Amino acid sequence: FLCADATANRAIFRSNGGLANYQSNNADLSDERMKIIHNPTASKWDAHAALEVFDYHYTESPDTRLLIGVGASQAGECDERLCATDGWDTGSEKYHAIYSKDLSFFTMKTVQECQARIEALEAVIAAL
């Protein structure tokens, strides 16, 4: 569902439940009452460290400014939940796409582990 005026798109309700509005907000339904929570996510420490972050620009774009990112296929090797190929079939090959929101939660899990390690080391230092 698209809401637009003569100058711009003002709001888009996406088929995945997302809402994008003029301020670039995109809120997905994330209420715990709508989820079946299985367990806390396991450590992502090693897998996160294995992700190569690189500078790039798109091959078929006239814009050659450097962007920053990761390769979707490599991210999929680190955790299959990060990579998608559906919807990107070009007829001769499938392109890999990254679930950027899942990658942000993947990173959040690693940051939480960093915080726990820092606090444990601070406790050891304080006890000396």
Q: What is the pLDDT of residues 2-61, one digit of tens each?
A: 777 887 777 777 776 667 766 656 666 677 888 889 999 999 999 999 999 999 998 888
> Which bin fits 103, alpha (ψ -120 to 50), beta or left (φ > 0)?
alpha
Report how far residue 33's alpha carbon sits from residue 98's, in angstroms, rounded to the nearest whole number.
27
6 token code pair: 């003569």
pLDDT, greater one: 86 or 84: 84
To 10 degrees, the CA torsion angle through 22, 23, 24, 27? -100
Q: For residue 97, give the 3-state DSSP assignment.
A: strand
- The per-residue pLDDT for 90 is 67
- The per-residue pLDDT for 12 is 78
- The per-residue pLDDT for 42 is 92
pTM exceeds cut of 0.85: no
pLDDT over 90, % of the chain: 38
- The per-residue pLDDT for 118 is 98
- The per-residue pLDDT for 26 is 64
User: Residue 107: in which H helix or E strand, if any?
Assistant: helix 100-127
Q: What is the mean pLDDT of residues 72-79?
A: 88
